[in-house]
Amino acid sequence: MAAHLPRYLLRRVLQAVPLLLGVLVVNFFLIHLAPGDPIYLLAGDGGDEPYFAAMRQKYGLDKPLPVQLGLYLLGVVQGEFGYSFAYARPVFEVIAARLPPTLLLMGVSIVLSTVVGVWLGVVCARRPNSPVERSVLVATLLGYGCPAFWLGQLLVLLFAVRLGWFPVQGMVNARADYEGLARLSDIARHLALPVATLSVLHLALVTRLTRTGLREELGKDYVRTARAKGLPTPSVVNRHALRNALLPVVTVVGADIGTLFTGAVLTEIVFAWPGLGRLLYDATLSRDYPLLMGIFLLVGTSVILTNIVTDVAYAVLDPRVRYT
Amino acid sequence: MASALTQPFTTLPGEVGAPRRTPRWWNRFVRQPTAVVGLALLLAVAAVALLAPWLAPGDPLTGIGPPLQPPSPAHPLGTDDLGRDILSQLLHGARVSLLVGLATAVIATLVGIVVGGLAGFFGRWVDDALMRLTEFVLVLPRFFLAIIVTTFFGGSLLTIVLLLGLTFWPSTARLLRAQILSLREREFVVAARAVGAAEPAILTRQVLPNAMPPVLVNASLQVGGAILIEAGLSFLGLGDRSQVSWGYMLNSAQPFILIAWWMSLFPGLALLLTVVAVNLVADGLNDAWNPQLSDEAWR
């Protein structure tokens, strides 16, 4: 299997190229479908005539569409993602500056919800039809139907306004200039409620999947064999059954990255978290089209890349599946 | 045991011995308390959506009271920053959510059936091409696409529904294709082929009806998904501004979160209840049609 892996990886990457191209083409056609002269989308409406003329020249707006598409793709390959007119800087730079807070939020949330979700799933699978399982299942049902941004508002009302345990919004306390450890704990305090908000949906998903998968595995012959050998239950569950039950969880955690971005954007707006979400919101207000496109491209690319990582992880983890 | 007296007398004089029975899936559906609760909730929301103009105490879009009033006898759920009655808005908001949810699921299911059906039926290059297309639509981040399109063109309900419908279909297509591929080899299909039935007839009469249950379960889950995405768009202020929607109510609540909890609590609760109701129905349908595969719908 291991010998197949590099070839499999290469094949998956090659398969991703047309998908990436597709996302770029969608991006390109959005620019041209939008009402008005596309020059305003590419260069903003604040420039003067010579500037517009130069931009028209650069993007080949006087040439036929296929040529323009070619020029656009060529630009992207060279790292040109357009110019944000609200920030008067290249889109790439603007996004890169705002990405770390979002990645922090998403990263902590994905780790936390996966760990807690697997644990809850195991608890449920080991006590079928118990009150514990029922309450967890009801909670996952509510987690599924809950709009993340509303949950965020409720958490603010309860834990920030009423109880005063956590700050209402932001990432750092603007009035204090913490250093070192104090700064870290300040960020952690600000992070708690947004992470809780963003984690709920994912937590529900992982819990459900682990429970279903584990229950299925626990009914199989190899588990009975392990039990008959006299292995203690925790060992049977954790070392044997859980490993197999977690395979679908890997897929879902990977496939869910788009949803996670969506949740992060909405959560950031509730908590004024200084990341991509806030940037996106401001871009819709200022109609900063190149910036919107850049964010769309970033999320699309992340989804495609995560899919590759997930598939390869699956191939490594599951020796039953042979990929050629 | 049911005696002759408790048995409903449904046999018409013309029918010999075969009383019209309720379908088995329906019997299994109503035996699940959670599914029945979900259906009842959903019907209640639908009734509210239909009767909103008569139920609502006032016009949802004009201020009829003092602004930012907490719940009181005059305004049971309070008023918002423009003095609009929250209850009236809430009742009218049911329309947008249900409309977007149902219309999206219908479009997505129709497109998905066509794509998945063609791919599964014709196989070969048709299958390859359509599955590549499916994969592509699947990686498009629909929420971000929707943000761009609504910023460009404005977020009319039609734009939003089309956009969601045309990005929600891949799961349907994949499900149906997989169903067709597995059903094609089953005995009853092979038997139909053996007695000389034409392929298109086999597809429409034998394969499709048996492939539909998971597709319909998926469609009901899509209703909930679409409702939440529309709410997210409206929360960003990108929804249809001519309509009251729960997402838009939460958008107006955001700046006043510290002083007017009622502006946030009720619309979110309505969203939560509606989506949970839809998902309970989906769960119930899934168990009714395919008891072994319960929970499959959640994957």
Question: Do the Cβ atoms of B250 and A149 come within 8 Å?
Answer: yes
Helix (H) / strand (E) element for B51: namely helix B33-55
Contact of B27 with B285, CB cutoff 8 Å: no
A3-17, A54-68, B88-102, B285-299: the lowest-pLDDT one: B285-299
For residue range A188-215, what is the model confidence (pLDDT) as tens digits? 888 889 999 999 999 999 998 888 888 8
Q: Would you state the structure tokens that stand for residue B284, as one six-digit string?
A: 């119930």
> Which pTM was predicted?
0.87
Predicted complex ipTM:
0.87
Helix (H) / strand (E) element for B261: namely helix B261-289
Question: Do the Cβ atoms of B236 and A281 come within 8 Å?
Answer: yes
**What domains sit in chain A, N to C, each tagged with a CATH number?**
93-317 (1.10.3720.10)
Question: Do the Cβ atoms of B264 and A153 come within 8 Å?
Answer: yes
Predicted pLDDT of residue B2: 40
Spell out which residues of chain A touch residue B147, defining contact as CB-CB under 8 Å. Answer: 280, 284, 292, 296
Nearest Cα residue in chain A from B224: A145
Predicted pLDDT of residue B3: 42
> Rounded distance, CA A33 to CA B78, Å?
43
Average pLDDT over residues B18-30: 76
Question: Do the Cβ atoms of A34 and B264 come within 8 Å?
Answer: no
CATH code that applies to domain B98-260: 1.10.3720.10
Assign A45 a pLDDT band (cuts: 50, 70, 90). Answer: low
> Rounded distance, CA B201 to CA A70, Å?
46
Closest CA to B90 of B82, B81, B99, B79: B79
Tell me, yes or no, if A95 comes closer than 8 A to chain B by beta carbon: no
Closest CA to B207 of B185, B233, B228: B185
